[in-house]
């Protein structure tokens, strides 16, 4: 029996499912395939977003700062369902969320791996501190989007490639969107 957590959903450029692939093979630097992903940004009332620092044992982007939570939906799982599941697993809480936008990107993430993702960006609202899963997250913090953009400009190597690529669009969308 296939372990759904070890597979990603392969998609075309319009996010239509075209197959499944074992997660590590889908992230192979030379033969990686476009697959569905989620990136969650949780905001508080002050307009700050919660960042996480990825655990040192993650399979890529170890120790880098990233958005609140990121992952891949499992086969048969809706995007928002996956977002709720992973937020609870990684950060120890759940909150109301809504889909903000989508975008595709490709990035070298080290360790012989490459991300090729059709990413669903999801915004949520939460006020309390998380109860982080130490297997996934080593640290966390709240930060304003202007401060985050400034830190990324000054020290891009401290942040995940996908966060660096999407931060301007997140900021622009956040300014226009009514957050939950």
Q: State the catalytic residues.
A: 70, 117
- Backbone angles phi and psi of 140, in degrees to 5: -155, 165
Residues 6+ apart with CB under 8 A from 91: 42, 50, 52, 68, 69, 130, 131, 132, 133, 137, 140
Within 10 Å of residue 48's Cβ, how many Cβ atoms? Answer: 16
Residue 132, CB half-sphere, CA atoms under 13 Å: how many? 17
**Pick from 39, 18, 16, 19: nearest CA to 123:** 39
Q: DSSP code of 141? A: E
> What three-state secondary structure class fits 107?
strand
> What three-state secondary structure class fits 34?
coil
């Amino acid at each position: 029996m296939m372990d759904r957590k070890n597979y990603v959903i392969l998609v075309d450029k319009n996010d239509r499912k075209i197959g499944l692939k074992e997660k590590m093979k889908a992230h192979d630097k030379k033969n990686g395939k476009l697959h569905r992903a989620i990136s969650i940004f949780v905001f508080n009332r002050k307009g700050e977003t919660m960042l996480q620092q990825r655990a040192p044992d993650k399979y890529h982007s170890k120790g880098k700062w990233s958005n609140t939570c990121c992952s891949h939906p499992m086969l048969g799982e809706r995007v928002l369902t996956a977002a709720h599941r992973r937020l609870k697993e990684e950060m120890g809480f759940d909150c109301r969320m809504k889909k903000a936008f989508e975008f595709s990107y490709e990035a070298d993430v080290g360790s012989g791996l490459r991300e090729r993702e059709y990413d669903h960006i999801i915004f949520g609202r939460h006020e309390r501190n998380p109860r982080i899963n130490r297997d996934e997250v080593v640290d966390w913090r709240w930060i304003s989007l202007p401060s985050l953009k400034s830190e990324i400009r000054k020290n891009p190597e401290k942040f995940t490639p996908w966060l660096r690529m999407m931060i301007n669009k997140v900021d622009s969308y956040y300014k226009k969107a009514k957050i939950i």
